Amino acid sequence: MLVADAARRLAAAGVASPRVDAELLLCAVLGTTRTALLTLGEVAAEPAARFAALVEERATRVPLQHLTGTAPFRHVELSVGPGVFVPRPETELIAGWVLERIADLNEPTVVDLGTGSGAIALAVANEHPGARVVAVERDPGAIEWTRHNAATRAAAGDTPVEVLAGDMTDPQLLTELDGRVDVVVSNPPYVPDGAGLPQEVADHDPPLALWGGPDGLDVVRGLLGTAARLLRPGGRLGIEHADQQGTSLPELVRRHGRWAEVTDHHDLAGRPRYTTAQLTGHHPAR
């Protein structure tokens, strides 16, 4: 009855997945799993009150992950909250693409530009222990979450990820790695200016993680130069994008002139989700 009442409250507030959210909030309060809820008895007054308070916050469209404090991403659990972009399940696909590209390399170097919570970088380090992974973030608020998550994963035994404060469009970023990186990956700000967003996103995700200029591709234009400089010849680039950029972003990459095998990929719902490419030619002399 507790979960059912909460689900009705969340549904009335317009939450997209009211039953699941109610169950996950109760799990967070009780420190248990959704499976265990099937045999749950009566909930004591104090945790029931905490649960009710969380449900009311969720009804105001505070992100679920801000209330639970965590977001799962592939095989890692990340701490998230105000000031950092909440990683989405669809981004797991581009992390998987990175891992496929480096699977046969003993000590690959991967750079994650605009890492936010560190989701892609930390998933790569978790699943490829031999990789050197550099995570770059410019938002002072977000990078504190990156550092926290990187320290947590390193303490759990994962290969440490190097966290760097920097702008992915900066011509001086990571110049010591010029021509030495195997994969550059990014989930950059790509929302076109003025686009409508769900309340959870508009009110709670940091603006630096969202807005990408009139067509949403301003940051991508800058990161293409960075990626071309960092990658070794034959190195790979992966960029996540909005549903409506499945044509425009690959075209932008092709026009840049340094990329071959430019391919767009769909997510599990069949929506355009990320573009990949391979660096051609020799690295230009500096």
Count CB neighbours of 202 within 10 A.
14
207 Cβ contact list (under 8 Å, min separation 6): none
In terms of DSSP bridges, do strands 132-137 and 162-165 run parallel, antiparallel, or are they unpaired? parallel
Q: What is the DSSP string of 4-52?
A: HHHHHHHHHTT-SSHHHHHHHHHHHHHT--TTGGGG--PPPHHHHHHHH
191 Cβ contact list (under 8 Å, min separation 6): 197, 210, 211, 212, 216, 242
| Element at 209 (helix H, strand E) | none
User: Tokens standing for 283?
Assistant: 């690295």
- Residues marked as catalytic: 85, 187-188
In terms of DSSP bridges, do strands 231-240 and 259-266 run parallel, antiparallel, or are they unpaired? unpaired
Residue 209: name the closest of 71, 201, 171, 250 by CA.
Answer: 201
